[in-house]
């Protein structure tokens, strides 16, 4: 099933999901086909890997994820939902500098 974005919010959400998936794939050293919304984080990586994923997400989205929240997130989909609802909107990266 293909999701077709119908508005700016959908585009934004899709970009968040893709960035979260990119970080999980990189940190978990997982095949992209394994990283689905239903995939359990601890099936993809260990606790150190999850910590690195959280740190990368905090850096990327300039937000913070308390330990209590990390402990409740079990799947990639839950992680994406948490980032969508608790982290500020990502700002475009300024490639030109000051």
CATH classification at residue 81: 1.10.1200.10
**Tally of domains in the chain:** 1
What's the length of the chain?
98
Residue 95 domain-assigned (yes or no): no
pLDDT at 5 over 50: no
Question: Of the residues 10, 11, 43, 46, which is catalytic?
Answer: 46
Residue 94 annotated in active site:
no
Residue 52 domain-assigned (yes or no): yes
Residue 1 domain-assigned (yes or no): no
Q: State residue 37 phi and psi, 5-degree precision.
A: -60, -30
Torsion on CA atoms 87, 29, 78, 36, rounded to nearest 10: 130
Structural domain that includes position 65: 21-86
**Placement of tokens 């998936």 in the chain:** 21
Q: Alpha-carbon distance 76 to 24, whole Å?
A: 8
pLDDT at 76 over 90: yes
At 9 the pLDDT is 47
pLDDT at 82 over 70: yes
Residue 46 domain-assigned (yes or no): yes
Mapping DSSP to helix (H, G, I), strand (E, B) and coil, where does residue 81 land? Answer: helix
> What pTM does this model have?
0.78
Q: Alpha-carbon distance 89 to 28, whole Å?
A: 24
Tens-place pLDDT, residues 11-69: 555 899 999 999 999 999 999 999 999 999 999 999 999 999 999 999 999 999 999 99
Residue 15 domain-assigned (yes or no): no
Residue 6 domain-assigned (yes or no): no
Both structure tokens of 37: 């919304």
Q: Give the pLDDT band of residue 88 (cuts 50, 70, 90).
A: confident
At 20 the pLDDT is 96
Residue 3 domain-assigned (yes or no): no
Query: 40 forms bridges with which residues in the sheet?
Result: 75
Query: 75 forms bridges with which residues in the sheet?
Result: 40
Q: Give the pLDDT band of residue 91 (cuts 50, 70, 90).
A: low
Residue 28 domain-assigned (yes or no): yes
């Amino acid at each position: 099933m293909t999701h077709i974005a119908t508005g700016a919010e959908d585009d934004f959400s899709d970009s968040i999901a893709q960035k979260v998936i990119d970080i999980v794939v990189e940190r978990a050293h997982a095949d992209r086909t394994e990283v689905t919304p239903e995939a359990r984080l601890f099936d993809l990586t260990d606790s150190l890997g999850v910590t690195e994923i959280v740190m990368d997400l905090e850096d990327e989205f300039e937000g913070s994820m308390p330990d209590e929240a990390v402990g409740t997130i079990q799947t990639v989909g839950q992680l994406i939902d948490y980032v969508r609802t608790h982290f500020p909107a990502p700002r475009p990266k300024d490639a030109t500098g000051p």
